[in-house]
Chain A
Amino acid sequence: MGTALDVRVKRAGKVYRDGEVLSGVVVITSKDTVQHQGISLTMEGSVNLQLSAKNVGVFEAFCNTAKPIQIINSTIEMVKPGKLPSGKTEIPFEFPLQMKGNKVLYETYHGVFVNIQYTLRCDMRRSLLAKDLTKTCEFIVHSLSQKGKLLPSPVDFTITPETLQNVKERASLPKFLIRGHLNSTNCVITQPLTGELVVESAEAAVRSIELQLVRVETCGCAEGYARDATEIQNIQIADGDVCRGLPIPIHMVFPRLFTCPTLETTNFKVEFEVNIVVLLHDDHLITENFPLKLCRM
């Protein structure tokens, strides 16, 4: 291999916020001198929308028109056409991460139907004989802390056979009483979801209690919308027939790449919910759903 191109941002976590300066180096390593037609660096940010298979039929027309929405795009010329010496060359760069007008710099998010991604792309154009070299490097954008104080919104819950919906044969259900609370459904994304759960009584043995984190992505416009819910994380908080009357902690860390602050725009929405799933020994599955509002402080 003749020439290698690499883009490195300064921060180890590659996390930047609106208004900050994205800095780093482009590293070119080569045994020989490198002849080139110029090196440029492009910063791009875009939202990609995609429709799930089940909706494709209905919204086909619309789907095709769902183009990526550009959030940010700027290019700088780093080096004019010329030669680079052999060995390792480091070219530092700085990009101000600034939105124009009242556009919002959405937070990086990798979902199924919605993808918000930011990249740095370095291009080295070369003469006809040699291929152009390109290297992309993703960096992560965190939105600014929301202003104002986050009000905790605790939720208490009680689950009994009577509180359940969608039950076919209520009579066949074993008796149980599960109580608990979430400390807040307004969550700071960097803080875990916390709460407690008590199995006060249960006729059938408990097999497992899980926390299911679900995201709900909605894409749409005037013509209509598509709403899809997918599980992104499932955390078991109880394994086996737990002791009755003993509070079990609810604790879940939000996964970094798959969550973002709850987002609502005209074109798409990303929301999150948590399900408490109780699995009884006779294969009864009890689910309680709580919508969450995530934000970054």
Chain B
Amino acid sequence: SVFLRHARSRNYVSESEVCKLESVPLDFGDYHPLKPITVTESKTKKMNRKGSTSSTSSSSSSSVMDPLSSVFDGTDPLSLFAAAADPVTTAHPMDGARRKREKDESSAVGNDFEPWSSKRGEILARYTTTEKLSINLYMGSEKGKATTSGSAVSEKVRTRLEELDDLEEGSQKELLNLTQQDYMNRIEELNQSLKDAWSSDQKVKALKIVIQCSKLLSDTTVIQFYPSKFVLITDILDTFGKLVYERILSMCMDNRVSLPDNFSPESVNDTAKETCLNWFFKIASIRELIPRFYVEAAILKCNKFLSKTGISECLPRLTSMIRGIGDPLVAIYARAYLCRVGMEVAPQLKESLNKNFFDFLLTFKQIHGDTVQNQLVVQCVEIPLYLTLYSPAIDWILQCIAYRAPDVLLTEMMERCKKLGNNALLLNSVMSAFRAEFIAARSMDFIGMIKECDESGFPKHLLFRSLGLNLALADPPENDRLQILNEAWKVITKLKNPQDYINCAEVWVEYTCRHFSKREVNTVLADVIKHMTPDRAFEDAYPQLQSIIQKVITYIYDFALLFSVEKFLPFLDMFQKESVRVEVCKCIMESFIKHQQESTKDPVILNALLHICKTTHDSVNALTLEDEKRMLAALINGFIKMVSFGRDFEQQLSFYVEARSMFCNLEPVLVQLIHSVNQLAMETRRVMKGNHSRKTAAFVRACVAFCFITIPSLSSIFTRLNLYLHSGQVALANQCLSQADAFFKAAVSLVPEVPKMISVDGKMRPSDAFLLEFLCNFFSTLLVVPDHPEQGVLFLVRGLLNVIQDYTWEDNSDDKVRIYTNVLHLLSAMTQEAFIYHVDKVDSNDTLYGGDSKFLAEINKLSETVVSQILDHLKTLGKEETLKRQSQLALYFFNTILAHGDLRNNRLNQLSVNLWNLAQKHGFADTKTMVKTLEYIKKRSKQSEMSHFTDLALRLPLQSRT
């Protein structure tokens, strides 16, 4: 009774006048941190704003500029820093040298050169075999030879050879029946043992390993595995080349300073030169051609130690050396390796690249010679397969040649290929290696050549595929475009094998989407469906089909247009495996969210997307991961937000109803729907300017009902609470009083169910902070909720207070009392003649009761109870360990009285003084806060009608810190 009878009466209007921040007239040119940096060319204005950070805004951009990017002028700070730090690195010569080397290399071969490393994996994945492989390693082979001609070999040589053999005593290893994986493991082991041998200073053994490995490359049994074998073994060779080079380079170290990157042979010391020469002599005496070639090519770079012209002399010699390799496949791969090393070591030497290719053309006829044919018969390998084995090597060589080559050279290359009867194999490699622009510009020529070309076993669909790949990257001349498509598709559609067909079609879809209208795209899709449906061929082609969809939605992102492509949805029907279908649907939805600018009501789009969303939604089951669910929900929400029927609110609501029935498994979608419906209700209110007609009132009630029945189906308790409150507010705003009451009652009765701990982002957290926040929010709303005529005064507030009273709070928390203190704020606001805020067109209790004394008495009774509860609690905190809490709560309560109580009342005045003293009693009060509070009181006392504060201030002693 002490308190509220004496609640300070407030004049909210004048108070807000006083409390409002001083309004400062805004200067238009004034700097504001949130204002986008706009066109500011005027120099004078900039002068005014000295000290502002917008000095960079001289760039005239009307859009929001990212301050971060503008400051650094597009270069990121790290690279700037690195550039600035460059001189520092010279202190670390090794580092500097390496960086410089990288730089130099990149200057010769830019980033646009697709490196070997990127081809590697592709080759390994493509050229596989199930046949058994074998590795033949004669570690002691030289010894065997030595003993046969034993009489002729001097004792000295023999002992020398024997010494070498000791490392792997006469080990002639023959590993048979290896699976491909075994084989690869073995090769990796060899690579490792090479490194081991090298690091343990067994250079001869290392050399032997390399020789034996490169010998494997002359073996063409299991020919379909040859390209992969080449990849594996050249890895070892690369390792070896690097080891030798680095070893010799390290010998050149003079006083711990390594050679500069572009050192001249003169600066190499004699020991290093001698070692280098030794390597070359050793390699020159390798008996067999293929190992000799490969090992010398591997250490080609070491020529730099010996002479300036070494590499440029070696490359042509090695190139012509390959002529001695009889097997055309082995030879072309040897050429590929030489080109690879050449590009790495001396990319400026283009001549031998070309020479390699011309030599290859000269020996081209061998491919169809008897020797090769016999071999294929023995191995049961078909010609088309055999020819594709050449592709990686030829592609690589041509890529090296074509790299930054003038068009003239490319034309010459093409002519040369043509002379060889337009061979399909060559044509294919030309198309995959040359610049896309070059190919695209001559598309019609190429189509002509493809048609004419001598197939000789090389599958034509691969040619069209290659052409398609080029056309996806570069545009052909405008006039030819349609003809190109027609010609190509004529061939593609005739392909019998679905796998061949889809590989081709996949590529050409991109071209079609890029240059043609939906009619052509539709035709193409229809053709694909026609080809892939028989025998459920699509089951083996999901990746390709998926990629087709991807391409279509990349180019056609106008969804009205997309769904008007008749065959698009039938195309989707081919994805019958659920995981793939969901994946595809997700892609489409992502694209929709990304590209759809305006909300839509197009029935075609809605139907199609609802169907797609439904598909993804239905994939959710008990095993779906949380993240996955979240993502799906976000996609569906994105779609729902884009749907708008404009002024047709009923249609909109029925869409939401339909959506609810469709997406009932994803809670976030339901939450979104509730929000959307609430928004719809508010939108209706806005349109009617707050005066509902009978029809709109009924509609709004329907909206409210929608929310009311949807909320209970959610599982998260705080989501439900907040939505009840929110929907209640919406109902109130729409004058649906009994509905609002229902929401609030539901919320009140839900509070006892709030658990102590809730899971937030997968972690268990105490729920009290959330509950406190919610309750405060709730009380603020309850101020304006008018009492129900049939229920008692302040029915809802009482109900909520009862719930709070019964709720099992944490033992050592003061939350209950904090809430009570906040309830006092509410109660004091309720005693005012006019409430601080109202809902438009809803009469709150201030109007209903008009300051009736019974009503005020009721409030007083309530506040009396609350205050006594608070004081009781303060008493229980008198124990040693809770004194700090006591002090804090006392001060909190004191502040409440200060703000809301009428301190002219003596008892209240006395209570506040007591609280003040209690707060300070045990030295737990923060002195700074106390001083500030006192200052505030003194300041307030200067205002009119507040003179009693002066007396109060005098009665509040400040405790000294001791």
Interface residue? B327 (CB, 8 A)? yes
- B152 partner residues in chain A, CB cutoff 8 A: 112, 230-231
B interface, over-half SS: helix
Interface residue? B477 (CB, 8 A)? no
Q: How far is the CA of A241 from the CA of B374 in the complex (A)?
A: 12
Interface residue? B307 (CB, 8 A)? no
Interface residue? A69 (CB, 8 A)? no
Interface residue? B321 (CB, 8 A)? yes
Chain A residue with the shortest CB-CB distance to B269: A12
Interface residue? A209 (CB, 8 A)? yes
Partner of B371, one of A11, A110, A205, A255: A205
A240:B321 contact, CB within 8 angstroms: no
Binds A, one of B242-250, B281-289, B511-519: B281-289
Partner of A243, one of B281, B290, B292, B323: B323
A239:B317 contact, CB within 8 angstroms: no
Q: B274 → chain A, closest Cβ, in Å? A: 4
Binds B, one of A73-81, A128-136, A246-254: A246-254
Chain B residue with the shortest CB-CB distance to A250: B324
Interface residue? A72 (CB, 8 A)? no
- A26 partner residues in chain B, CB cutoff 8 A: none
A255:B366 contact, CB within 8 angstroms: no
Report B264-323 residues with CB < 8 Å from chain A CB.
Answer: 270-271, 273-274, 280-281, 284-285, 287-290, 292, 317, 320-321, 323
A111:B154 contact, CB within 8 angstroms: yes
- A238 partner residues in chain B, CB cutoff 8 A: 289, 324-326
Q: B420 → chain A, closest Cβ, in Å? A: 14
Partner of B285, one of A53, A230, A253: A253
Interface residue? B218 (CB, 8 A)? yes
- Bits for A167-180, please: 1 = Cβ < 8 Å to B, else 0: 00000000000000
- B289 partner residues in chain A, CB cutoff 8 A: 236-239
- B271 partner residues in chain A, CB cutoff 8 A: 12
- A112 partner residues in chain B, CB cutoff 8 A: 152-154
Q: Given A237-B289, A255-B281, A53 and B151 touching (CB < 8 A)?
A: yes
A12:B326 contact, CB within 8 angstroms: no
Q: A199 → chain B, closest Cβ, in Å? A: 10
B317:A251 contact, CB within 8 angstroms: yes
Report B149-192 residues with CB < 8 Å from chain A CB.
Answer: 149, 151-154, 156
- A247 partner residues in chain B, CB cutoff 8 A: 320, 323
Q: How far is the CA of A237 from the CA of B322 in the complex (A)?
A: 9
A249:B320 contact, CB within 8 angstroms: yes
- A205 partner residues in chain B, CB cutoff 8 A: 370-371
B156:A248 contact, CB within 8 angstroms: no
- B366 partner residues in chain A, CB cutoff 8 A: 241, 243
Interface residue? A188 (CB, 8 A)? no
- Bits for A204-241, please: 1 = Cβ < 8 Å to B, else 0: 01100100000000000000000000110111111111
Q: Given A53-B151, A111-B154, A231-B152, A246 and B323 touching (CB < 8 A)?
A: yes
- A11 partner residues in chain B, CB cutoff 8 A: 270
Chain B residue with the shortest CB-CB distance to A53: B151
Q: B543 → chain A, closest Cβ, in Å? A: 40
A240:B317 contact, CB within 8 angstroms: no
Q: How far is the CA of A240 from the CA of B218 in the complex (A)?
A: 9
Interface residue? A242 (CB, 8 A)? yes
Chain A residue with the shortest CB-CB distance to B366: A243
Report A8-47 residues with CB < 8 Å from chain B CB.
Answer: 11-13
Partner of A231, one of B149, B288, B292, B321: B149
Interface residue? A88 (CB, 8 A)? no
B287:A209 contact, CB within 8 angstroms: no
- A235 partner residues in chain B, CB cutoff 8 A: 284-285, 287, 292
Q: How far is the CA of A59 from the CA of B323 in the complex (A)?
A: 49
A253:B326 contact, CB within 8 angstroms: no
B326:A13 contact, CB within 8 angstroms: no
- B888 partner residues in chain A, CB cutoff 8 A: none
- A240 partner residues in chain B, CB cutoff 8 A: 218, 325-327, 330, 371
- A255 partner residues in chain B, CB cutoff 8 A: 281, 284-285
- Bits for B359-383, please: 1 = Cβ < 8 Å to A, else 0: 1001101100111000000000000
Interface residue? A83 (CB, 8 A)? no
B154:A209 contact, CB within 8 angstroms: no
- B274 partner residues in chain A, CB cutoff 8 A: 12-13
A237:B324 contact, CB within 8 angstroms: yes
B281:A249 contact, CB within 8 angstroms: no
B285:A239 contact, CB within 8 angstroms: no
- Bits for A85-112, please: 1 = Cβ < 8 Å to B, else 0: 0000000000000000000000000111
Chain B residue with the shortest CB-CB distance to A240: B326
Q: B704 → chain A, closest Cβ, in Å? A: 89
- A206 partner residues in chain B, CB cutoff 8 A: 326
Chain A residue with the shortest CB-CB distance to B363: A243
Interface residue? A256 (CB, 8 A)? yes
- A13 partner residues in chain B, CB cutoff 8 A: 270, 274
Partner of B324, one of A111, A209, A230: A209
Q: How far is the CA of A245 from the CA of B24 in the complex (A)?
A: 97
Q: How far is the CA of A240 from the CA of B156 in the complex (A)?
A: 34
Chain A residue with the shortest CB-CB distance to B271: A12
Chain A residue with the shortest CB-CB distance to B372: A241
Q: How far is the CA of A49 from the CA of B612 in the complex (A)?
A: 95
- Bits for B201-220, please: 1 = Cβ < 8 Å to A, else 0: 00000000000000000100
- B317 partner residues in chain A, CB cutoff 8 A: 249, 251
B285:A233 contact, CB within 8 angstroms: yes
Chain B residue with the shortest CB-CB distance to A13: B274
B270:A12 contact, CB within 8 angstroms: yes
Q: How far is the CA of A239 from the CA of B317 in the complex (A)?
A: 17
Q: Which of A209, A231, A246 has the most CB of B within 10 A?
A: A246
Q: Which of B280, B281, B323 has the most CB of A within 10 A?
A: B323
B321:A249 contact, CB within 8 angstroms: yes
Q: How far is the CA of A256 from the CA of B279 in the complex (A)?
A: 12
Q: How far is the CA of A276 from the CA of B328 in the complex (A)?
A: 23
Chain B residue with the shortest CB-CB distance to A115: B154
- B287 partner residues in chain A, CB cutoff 8 A: 234-236
Q: How far is the CA of A253 from the CA of B555 in the complex (A)?
A: 62
Q: How far is the CA of A52 from the CA of B152 in the complex (A)?
A: 9
Chain A residue with the shortest CB-CB distance to B220: A240
Report B907-949 residues with CB < 8 Å from chain A CB.
Answer: none
Q: How far is the CA of A241 from the CA of B329 in the complex (A)?
A: 12
Partner of B154, one of A110, A243, A246, A256: A110
- B156 partner residues in chain A, CB cutoff 8 A: 110
Q: How far is the CA of A239 from the CA of B329 in the complex (A)?
A: 13
Q: How far is the CA of A88 from the CA of B151 in the complex (A)?
A: 45
Report B321-368 residues with CB < 8 Å from chain A CB.
Answer: 321, 323-327, 330, 359, 362-363, 365-366
Chain B residue with the shortest CB-CB distance to A54: B151
Q: How far is the CA of A53 from the CA of B150 in the complex (A)?
A: 12
- A12 partner residues in chain B, CB cutoff 8 A: 270-271, 273-274
- A192 partner residues in chain B, CB cutoff 8 A: 284
Chain B residue with the shortest CB-CB distance to A239: B289
Q: How far is the CA of A236 from the CA of B362 in the complex (A)?
A: 22
- B284 partner residues in chain A, CB cutoff 8 A: 192, 235, 252-253, 255
- B218 partner residues in chain A, CB cutoff 8 A: 239-240
Q: Given A11-B270, A112-B153, A239 and B325 touching (CB < 8 A)?
A: yes
B324:A248 contact, CB within 8 angstroms: yes
Report A244-284 residues with CB < 8 Å from chain B CB.
Answer: 246-249, 251-253, 255-256
Give me 12 other A-B pairs in contact (C-beta within 8 A), A239-B326, A246-B362 excluded.
A12-B273, A12-B274, A110-B154, A230-B152, A230-B153, A231-B152, A237-B321, A238-B325, A240-B326, A241-B326, A242-B325, A255-B281
Interchain residue pairs with CB less than 8 A apart (6): A12-B270, A53-B151, A205-B371, A233-B285, A246-B363, A253-B284
- Which residues on B are within 8 Å of A, measured CB to CB? 149, 151-154, 156, 218, 270-271, 273-274, 280-281, 284-285, 287-290, 292, 317, 320-321, 323-327, 330, 359, 362-363, 365-366, 369-371
- Which residues on A are within 8 Å of B, measured CB to CB? 11-13, 52-53, 110-112, 192, 205-206, 209, 230-231, 233-243, 246-249, 251-253, 255-256
Shortest beta-carbon contacts, A-B, top 7: A240-B326, A238-B324, A253-B284, A230-B152, A12-B270, A236-B289, A243-B363
